[in-house]
């Protein structure tokens, strides 16, 4: 009787360990979100370039302060560089 329950536990553990790699595969949501992110960045890159140019021209002709122009350019850099910033911070934390 005792050996049968150990055998069942061993079989269930082996099955659970066998199924685990299947669960580690990428989900359809992650694949779709990644594709959406890359498409959105592709579309918004020219818009961001034009926005940085407009900020520079506005600051050059004294329509906005240089602080606002630098803040806008820094914000755009952070938005487009977010994946690299996150991987850099995770590397610093050892994750």
The end-to-end CA distance of the chain, in Å, is 45
Measured between alpha carbons, how far is 24 from 47 in angstroms, rounded to an integer?
Answer: 37
Contact 76, 51 (CB under 8 A): yes
Q: What is the mean pLDDT of residues 71-90?
A: 89
pLDDT band at 3 (very low <50, low <70, confident <90, very high): low
In this structure, what token pair is assigned to residue 59?
């600051």
Kindly report each contact of residues 34-40 with a partner whose C-beta sits within 8 Å and lies 24 or more positions away, as own/partner. none
Contact 35, 56 (CB under 8 A): no
Q: What's the pTM?
A: 0.57
Which position has the higher pLDDT, 83 or 39? 39
Residue 45 has pLDDT above 80, yes or no: yes
């Amino acid at each position: 009787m005792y050996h049968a329950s150990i055998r069942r536990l061993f079989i269930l553990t082996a099955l659970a360990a066998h199924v685990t790699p299947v669960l580690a595969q990428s989900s359809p949501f992650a694949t779709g979100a990644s594709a959406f992110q890359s498409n959105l960045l592709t579309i918004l890159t020219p818009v961001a370039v034009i926005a940085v140019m407009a900020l520079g021209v506005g600051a050059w002709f004294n329509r906005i302060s240089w602080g606002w122009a630098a803040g806008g350019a820094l914000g755009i850099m952070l938005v487009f560089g977010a994946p690299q910033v996150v991987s850099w911070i995770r590397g610093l934390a050892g994750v």
